[in-house]
Protein backbone atom coordinates (compact mmCIF):
# COMPACT_ATOMS: atom_id res chain seq x y z
CA UNK A 1 0.00 0.00 0.00
CA UNK A 2 2.84 2.39 0.82
CA UNK A 3 4.39 1.89 -2.63
CA UNK A 4 1.11 2.72 -4.41
CA UNK A 5 0.12 5.76 -2.33
CA UNK A 6 -1.78 7.97 -3.30
CA UNK A 7 -3.02 5.91 -6.30
CA UNK A 8 -4.58 3.11 -4.25
CA UNK A 9 -7.49 2.59 -1.86
CA UNK A 10 -7.16 0.35 1.17
CA UNK A 11 -10.24 -1.66 2.22
CA UNK A 12 -9.84 -2.68 5.85
CA UNK A 13 -13.29 -4.26 6.33
CA UNK A 14 -13.15 -8.04 6.34
CA UNK A 15 -15.31 -9.44 3.55
CA UNK A 16 -15.66 -13.02 2.45
CA UNK A 17 -14.22 -12.91 -1.07
CA UNK A 18 -13.38 -16.04 -3.02
CA UNK A 19 -12.15 -14.79 -6.40
CA UNK A 20 -11.48 -18.26 -7.83
CA UNK A 21 -15.04 -19.38 -7.05
CA UNK A 22 -17.12 -16.24 -7.58
CA UNK A 23 -15.84 -12.92 -8.93
CA UNK A 24 -19.17 -11.08 -8.64
CA UNK A 25 -18.08 -9.02 -5.63
CA UNK A 26 -14.85 -7.97 -7.34
CA UNK A 27 -16.71 -6.88 -10.45
CA UNK A 28 -19.08 -4.84 -8.23
CA UNK A 29 -16.17 -3.06 -6.53
CA UNK A 30 -14.47 -2.52 -9.87
CA UNK A 31 -17.54 -0.66 -11.17
CA UNK A 32 -18.02 1.31 -7.95
CA UNK A 33 -14.41 2.48 -7.59
CA UNK A 34 -13.39 2.51 -11.26
CA UNK A 35 -10.58 0.09 -10.39
CA UNK A 36 -8.76 -2.14 -12.84
CA UNK A 37 -6.60 -4.11 -10.36
CA UNK A 38 -7.04 -5.63 -6.91
CA UNK A 39 -4.59 -7.15 -4.43
CA UNK A 40 -6.32 -9.44 -1.93
CA UNK A 41 -4.74 -10.72 1.24
CA UNK A 42 -6.28 -13.92 2.58
CA UNK A 43 -5.19 -16.61 4.99
CA UNK A 44 -6.89 -19.98 5.44
CA UNK A 45 -5.87 -23.25 7.02
CA UNK A 46 -5.35 -24.83 3.61
CA UNK A 47 -3.63 -21.79 2.02
CA UNK A 48 -2.08 -19.56 4.72
CA UNK A 49 -0.68 -16.10 4.01
CA UNK A 50 -2.14 -15.81 0.52
CA UNK A 51 -1.82 -12.82 -1.78
CA UNK A 52 -3.95 -12.69 -4.93
CA UNK A 53 -3.37 -10.18 -7.75
CA UNK A 54 -6.53 -9.67 -9.82
CA UNK A 55 -6.73 -7.77 -13.11
CA UNK A 56 -10.00 -6.48 -14.55
CA UNK A 57 -11.04 -5.32 -18.00
CA UNK A 58 -14.24 -3.44 -18.78
CA UNK A 59 -15.58 -4.30 -15.33
CA UNK A 60 -15.05 -8.05 -15.85
CA UNK A 61 -12.45 -10.43 -14.47
CA UNK A 62 -9.56 -10.81 -16.91
CA UNK A 63 -6.98 -12.96 -15.09
CA UNK A 64 -5.43 -13.45 -11.65
CA UNK A 65 -2.58 -15.15 -9.84
CA UNK A 66 -2.39 -16.36 -6.24
CA UNK A 67 0.90 -16.11 -4.37
CA UNK A 68 1.96 -17.53 -1.04
CA UNK A 69 3.97 -15.18 1.21
CA UNK A 70 6.76 -17.33 2.64
CA UNK A 71 8.71 -14.41 4.10
CA UNK A 72 7.94 -10.71 4.48
CA UNK A 73 9.91 -7.76 5.84
CA UNK A 74 8.13 -4.41 6.01
CA UNK A 75 9.53 -1.12 4.70
CA UNK A 76 9.44 0.34 8.20
CA UNK A 77 11.89 -2.25 9.49
CA UNK A 78 14.55 -0.77 7.19
CA UNK A 79 15.90 2.39 8.82
CA UNK A 80 16.77 4.04 5.53
CA UNK A 81 15.33 6.86 3.45
CA UNK A 82 12.08 6.21 1.57
CA UNK A 83 10.92 7.57 -1.81
CA UNK A 84 8.32 10.28 -2.14
CA UNK A 85 4.70 9.24 -2.58
CA UNK A 86 3.48 9.00 -6.15
CA UNK A 87 6.84 8.18 -7.78
CA UNK A 88 7.00 5.27 -10.21
CA UNK A 89 9.51 2.49 -9.49
CA UNK A 90 11.95 0.95 -11.91
CA UNK A 91 11.24 -2.77 -12.32
CA UNK A 92 14.09 -5.23 -12.80
CA UNK A 93 13.19 -8.83 -13.76
CA UNK A 94 16.32 -10.94 -13.39
CA UNK A 95 15.43 -14.34 -14.83
CA UNK A 96 14.83 -15.84 -18.24
CA UNK A 97 11.68 -17.50 -16.88
CA UNK A 98 9.88 -14.16 -17.10
CA UNK A 99 10.21 -14.43 -20.89
CA UNK A 100 9.77 -18.19 -21.44
CA UNK A 101 7.58 -19.78 -18.74
CA UNK A 102 3.80 -19.11 -18.99
CA UNK A 103 3.27 -18.70 -15.23
CA UNK A 104 6.12 -16.25 -14.84
CA UNK A 105 5.12 -14.34 -17.96
CA UNK A 106 1.70 -13.79 -16.40
CA UNK A 107 3.24 -12.71 -13.09
CA UNK A 108 5.51 -10.24 -14.87
CA UNK A 109 2.57 -8.77 -16.75
CA UNK A 110 0.53 -8.38 -13.54
CA UNK A 111 3.37 -6.71 -11.64
CA UNK A 112 4.08 -4.32 -14.51
CA UNK A 113 0.42 -3.29 -14.66
CA UNK A 114 0.29 -2.95 -10.88
CA UNK A 115 3.28 -0.60 -10.60
CA UNK A 116 3.11 1.07 -14.01
CA UNK A 117 1.10 4.12 -12.93
CA UNK A 118 0.69 7.13 -15.17
CA UNK A 119 2.32 7.02 -18.59
CA UNK A 120 4.96 9.75 -18.92
CA UNK A 121 6.65 11.14 -22.03
CA UNK A 122 10.06 11.99 -20.54
CA UNK A 123 12.16 10.86 -17.59
CA UNK A 124 13.92 13.09 -15.09
CA UNK A 125 17.01 11.40 -13.67
CA UNK A 126 16.39 12.78 -10.18
CA UNK A 127 12.89 11.31 -10.19
CA UNK A 128 14.18 7.73 -10.36
CA UNK A 129 14.15 7.18 -6.63
CA UNK A 130 13.75 3.44 -6.13
CA UNK A 131 13.98 0.04 -7.81
CA UNK A 132 12.00 -3.15 -7.36
CA UNK A 133 14.15 -6.16 -8.17
CA UNK A 134 12.25 -9.39 -8.97
CA UNK A 135 14.40 -12.50 -9.12
CA UNK A 136 13.79 -16.25 -9.17
CA UNK A 137 15.47 -18.95 -7.11
CA UNK A 138 17.69 -21.50 -8.92
CA UNK A 139 15.71 -23.80 -11.21
CA UNK A 140 16.44 -26.74 -13.54
CA UNK A 141 17.18 -25.96 -17.19
CA UNK A 142 14.16 -27.94 -18.41
CA UNK A 143 11.84 -25.49 -16.64
CA UNK A 144 12.85 -22.66 -18.97
CA UNK A 145 11.39 -24.50 -21.97
CA UNK A 146 8.17 -25.66 -20.29
CA UNK A 147 4.98 -25.43 -22.33
CA UNK A 148 1.51 -24.47 -21.16
CA UNK A 149 0.67 -28.09 -20.32
CA UNK A 150 3.85 -28.47 -18.21
CA UNK A 151 3.48 -25.16 -16.36
CA UNK A 152 1.71 -26.53 -13.27
CA UNK A 153 4.63 -28.44 -11.77
CA UNK A 154 6.76 -27.31 -8.81
CA UNK A 155 7.98 -23.78 -9.43
CA UNK A 156 10.87 -21.85 -7.86
CA UNK A 157 10.40 -19.08 -5.32
CA UNK A 158 10.09 -15.47 -6.45
CA UNK A 159 12.08 -12.86 -4.52
CA UNK A 160 11.06 -9.19 -4.53
CA UNK A 161 13.41 -6.60 -3.02
CA UNK A 162 13.12 -2.82 -2.85
CA UNK A 163 16.12 -0.48 -3.13
CA UNK A 164 16.56 3.28 -2.95
CA UNK A 165 18.60 4.80 -5.78
CA UNK A 166 21.46 6.96 -4.54
CA UNK A 167 23.24 9.14 -7.12
CA UNK A 168 26.83 10.02 -6.23
CA UNK A 169 29.45 12.16 -7.91
CA UNK A 170 31.64 10.23 -10.33
CA UNK A 171 33.72 12.98 -11.93
CA UNK A 172 31.86 12.38 -15.19
CA UNK A 173 28.57 13.42 -16.69
CA UNK A 174 26.91 10.16 -15.65
CA UNK A 175 26.64 9.84 -11.84
CA UNK A 176 27.64 6.75 -9.91
CA UNK A 177 24.62 4.76 -8.77
CA UNK A 178 24.33 2.90 -5.47
CA UNK A 179 21.37 0.83 -4.29
CA UNK A 180 20.38 1.00 -0.63
CA UNK A 181 17.90 -1.60 0.72
CA UNK A 182 14.66 0.09 1.77
CA UNK A 183 12.09 -2.73 1.70
CA UNK A 184 9.70 -4.28 1.37
CA UNK A 185 11.15 -7.76 1.04
CA UNK A 186 9.04 -10.67 -0.22
CA UNK A 187 9.64 -14.38 -0.77
CA UNK A 188 6.69 -15.62 -2.80
CA UNK A 189 5.61 -19.03 -4.02
CA UNK A 190 3.25 -19.42 -6.97
CA UNK A 191 -0.06 -21.12 -6.19
CA UNK A 192 -3.33 -21.10 -8.14
CA UNK A 193 -3.86 -18.97 -11.21
CA UNK A 194 -6.57 -18.19 -13.74
CA UNK A 195 -5.44 -17.32 -17.26
CA UNK A 196 -7.32 -14.80 -19.34
CA UNK A 197 -10.04 -15.90 -21.72
CA UNK A 198 -8.69 -15.87 -25.27
CA UNK A 199 -11.46 -13.70 -26.72
CA UNK A 200 -11.48 -11.24 -23.81
CA UNK A 201 -7.67 -11.01 -23.91
CA UNK A 202 -7.82 -10.24 -27.62
CA UNK A 203 -10.23 -7.38 -26.98
CA UNK A 204 -8.16 -6.09 -24.04
CA UNK A 205 -4.97 -6.05 -26.11
CA UNK A 206 -6.56 -4.32 -29.07
CA UNK A 207 -4.69 -1.21 -30.11
CA UNK A 208 -6.06 1.78 -32.03
CA UNK A 209 -5.59 1.67 -35.78
CA UNK A 210 -3.51 4.82 -35.75
CA UNK A 211 0.24 4.48 -35.88
CA UNK A 212 2.16 4.62 -32.65
CA UNK A 213 3.91 7.82 -33.71
CA UNK A 214 0.58 9.45 -34.45
CA UNK A 215 -0.82 8.43 -31.08
CA UNK A 216 2.20 9.78 -29.21
CA UNK A 217 2.45 13.07 -31.09
CA UNK A 218 -1.23 13.73 -31.67
CA UNK A 219 -1.99 13.19 -35.33
CA UNK A 220 1.48 13.07 -36.82
CA UNK A 221 0.80 16.19 -38.87
CA UNK A 222 -0.26 18.87 -36.40
CA UNK A 223 -3.84 19.97 -36.88
CA UNK A 224 -5.25 22.93 -35.04
CA UNK A 225 -7.50 22.16 -32.04
CA UNK A 226 -7.40 18.41 -32.74
CA UNK A 227 -5.60 15.74 -30.74
CA UNK A 228 -5.61 11.99 -30.20
CA UNK A 229 -5.72 10.61 -26.66
CA UNK A 230 -4.00 7.45 -25.41
CA UNK A 231 -6.93 5.29 -26.51
CA UNK A 232 -6.76 6.56 -30.09
CA UNK A 233 -9.93 8.66 -29.85
CA UNK A 234 -9.97 11.91 -31.81
CA UNK A 235 -10.84 14.89 -29.64
CA UNK A 236 -11.51 18.45 -30.81
CA UNK A 237 -11.75 21.82 -29.12
CA UNK A 238 -14.44 24.32 -30.09
CA UNK A 239 -13.99 28.04 -29.37
CA UNK A 240 -17.18 30.04 -28.80
CA UNK A 241 -17.35 33.87 -28.93
CA UNK A 242 -18.19 35.82 -25.80
CA UNK A 243 -21.93 35.86 -25.20
CA UNK A 244 -24.02 38.83 -24.05
CA UNK A 245 -26.13 37.37 -21.26
CA UNK A 246 -28.19 40.58 -21.04
CA UNK A 247 -29.94 39.66 -24.26
CA UNK A 248 -30.53 36.08 -23.20
CA UNK A 249 -34.21 35.14 -23.56
CA UNK A 250 -35.46 33.54 -20.37
CA UNK A 251 -38.78 32.04 -19.43
CA UNK A 252 -41.32 34.60 -18.18
CA UNK A 253 -43.02 33.63 -14.93
CA UNK A 254 -46.07 35.39 -13.56
CA UNK A 255 -44.83 35.17 -9.99
CA UNK A 256 -41.73 37.22 -10.81
CA UNK A 257 -43.61 40.27 -12.10
CA UNK A 258 -43.21 43.42 -10.01
CA UNK A 259 -45.98 44.61 -7.62
CA UNK A 260 -47.38 41.27 -6.52
CA UNK A 261 -46.95 40.48 -2.85
CA UNK A 262 -45.55 43.91 -2.02
CA UNK A 263 -47.15 46.20 0.53
CA UNK A 264 -46.35 49.84 0.48
CA UNK A 265 -45.11 51.30 3.72
CA UNK A 266 -46.20 54.77 2.74
CA UNK A 267 -49.66 56.01 3.86
CA UNK A 268 -52.01 58.39 2.16
CA UNK A 269 -52.83 61.83 3.52
CA UNK A 270 -55.60 60.62 5.89
CA UNK A 271 -53.32 58.22 7.72
CA UNK A 272 -54.80 55.18 6.07
CA UNK A 273 -52.52 52.75 4.20
CA UNK A 274 -52.67 53.14 0.47
CA UNK A 275 -54.26 50.46 -1.65
CA UNK A 276 -52.09 47.92 -3.44
CA UNK A 277 -51.40 48.55 -7.06
CA UNK A 278 -53.00 45.88 -9.14
CA UNK A 279 -51.04 44.48 -12.00
CA UNK A 280 -53.03 43.23 -14.93
The DSSP annotation for 101-129 comes to -HHHHHHHHHHHHHHH-S--SS--GGG--
DSSP character at residue 267: B
- Per the CB < 8 A criterion, the answer to whether 58 and 30 are in contact is no
Q: How many CB atoms lie within 10 A of CB 80?
A: 12
pLDDT in tens, 137-146: 888 777 776 6
What is the C-alpha separation between 162 and 82, in angstroms, rounded?
Answer: 10
Does residue 8 contact residue 34 with C-beta atoms inside 8 Å?
Answer: no
Identify whether the C-beta of residue 105 lies closer than 8 Å to the C-beta of residue 96.
no
| Residues contacting 31, CB < 8 A, separation 6+ | 59
How many H helices and E strands in the chain? 5, 9
DSSP code, position 273: B
More confident residue, 216 or 254: 254
Alpha-carbon distances, residue 23 vs 43, 171, 207 (angstroms): 18, 56, 27
Distance between CA atoms of residues 182 and 31, nearest Å: 35
Residue 70 CA to its chain's centroid (Å): 27
Instruction: State mean pLDDT over 107-132.
Output: 86
Which of 50-59, 78-87, 247-256 shows the lowest mean pLDDT across its residues? 247-256
Q: What is the pLDDT of residues 147-206, one digit of tens each?
A: 655 555 689 999 999 999 998 888 888 888 899 999 899 999 999 999 999 999 999 988
Which tens digit of pLDDT belongs to each residue from 40-50?
998 989 999 99
Task: Name the region of 34 (left: φ>0; alpha: ψ -120 to 50; beta: rest).
Answer: left
pLDDT at res. 276 = 55
Share of the chain above pLDDT 70, in %: 80
Between residues 3 and 277, which one has the greater pLDDT?
A: 3
Residues facing residue 158 across a β-bridge: 136, 188
171 contacts 88 by C-beta, under 8 angstroms: no
Amino acid sequence: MALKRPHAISFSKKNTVRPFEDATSLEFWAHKNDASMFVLGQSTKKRPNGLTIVRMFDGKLLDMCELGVDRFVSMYEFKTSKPQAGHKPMLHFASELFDTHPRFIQLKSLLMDLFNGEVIESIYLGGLEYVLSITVAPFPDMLASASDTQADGPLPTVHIRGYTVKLLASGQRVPRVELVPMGPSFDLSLRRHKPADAELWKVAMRRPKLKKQEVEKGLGKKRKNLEVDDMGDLRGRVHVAKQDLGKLQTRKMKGLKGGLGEERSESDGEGRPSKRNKTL
